[in-house]
Amino acid sequence: MDQHGVCSLLLLLLLLRSKGVAEDEKYFHILKTCQFIEKSSQSDVHYQVQYWYNGLLQAFYNSSTEKVVGFTHYGKVFADEVNKSPDYLKVRRNDLNYYCKVLGAVLYKNIQVKAVPPVSRLKSVTSNSSEDSEVLVCSAYNFYPQQIRLSWLRDGVVIPDPPGMMITEMPGGEWRYQIHSYLQHKLNSGQNITCMIEHRGLQEPQLLKLERSEVQSNSVMLAWEGAILATGLFVLLASVVFHCRKTQ
């Protein structure tokens, strides 16, 4: 649950508590949800009940008003009946206490325990805008829940107004997420750049620092690969010229 906004937790209440087929073979179901407002709180919660028939929302109950609102002719008739019934309101209050406050607390605790820490990586890529700069990429993969914080530090001080970041769900990741953050940095500036990752699955913030030896080794490897490729092309060209002269 997120402190910056309302977060819906679909409990076992995503259950279709009542589901069946009417005489005219039209389907109906009742959907119940608990909507939590405050972070880590099972007391400030809204309980909602939706009554559906033949794919249309007929009526809607909200614990905030303790009233049922009808949207169709049959929904309005139903709302008029149950709003006059003290027994209906009593059942809804019992549902709120059991499903949202008691069962919701248990499920939320289980979700907290099952946090999956991120697999993190920091790398450097060539900058297209300037030859004397590089782009640092800080990535976190395969984490749950979605809430995570990536911060850039320059010589141990958090850089204000960090670059834009986007969290996306991993393809086929079963509720696992990934995030990437980019920072343009001048080469040979003498500054130490660190990426700090904070997540519920980590016991303490994770600090990633780029190993310059790795960057240099990658550069040397690329240089060797380029030299080998150039040598191969030269040998191939020489062989073609020699073959052409021999056949003339």
Alpha carbon 171 to chain centroid distance?
12
pLDDT for 210: 81
- Residues 21/1, Cβ–Cβ less than 8 Å: no
30-34, 187-191, 235-239, range with greatest mean pLDDT: 30-34
pLDDT for 166: 76
Q: Write down the pTM of the prediction.
A: 0.46
pLDDT for 2: 42
pLDDT for 237: 55
Residue 217 scores a pLDDT above 60: no
Residue 209 scores a pLDDT above 70: yes
Report the distance separating Cα 67 and Cα 62, nearest Å: 6
Report the distance separating Cα 172 and Cα 149, nearest Å: 23
Identify the band that residue 220 occupies on the pLDDT scale cut at 50, 70 and 90: very low
- Going along the chain from its start, the domains and CATH numbers come out as 7-113 (3.10.320.10), 119-213 (2.60.40.10)
Closest to 15 measured CA to CA, from 35, 27, 33, 36: 33
pLDDT for 212: 58
Percent of the chain with pLDDT over 90: 33
pLDDT for 129: 67
Q: How many residues belong to the chain?
A: 248
φ and ψ at 234, to 5 degrees?
A: -65, -45
Q: SS3 for 241?
A: helix
Report the distance separating Cα 215 and Cα 5, nearest Å: 41
7-16, 24-33, 36-45, 188-197, range with greatest mean pLDDT: 188-197
Segment 190-198 shows an average pLDDT of 90
Residue 27 corresponds to which tokens in the numbers above?
Answer: 């389907």
